A = this chain, B = another copy of it.
Amino acid sequence: MITYEQFKTIEIRAGRIISAERIPDTDKLLKLSVDFAETDAAGNQKPRQIVSGIAQHFPDPAALVGKTCMFVTNLEPRLIRGFESQGMLFALSTADGAFSLLEPNAGIPPGTMAK
CB contact under 8 A between A115 and B94, given known A2-B9, A2-B10, A10-B6: no
> Contacts of A108 on B, CB cut-off 8 Å?
92, 94, 98, 100
Oligomer: number of copies: 2
The dominant DSSP class at the A interface is loop
A65-115 with Cβ < 8 A to chain B:
70, 72, 74-76, 88, 90-94, 98-105, 107-109, 112-115
Which of B3, B72, B92 lies in contact with A104, CB distance below 8 A? B92
Let me know if B113 and A76 touch, CB within 8 A.
no
Total number of A residues with any Cβ neighbor in B under 8 Å: 36
A9-29 with Cβ < 8 A to chain B:
9-10, 12, 14
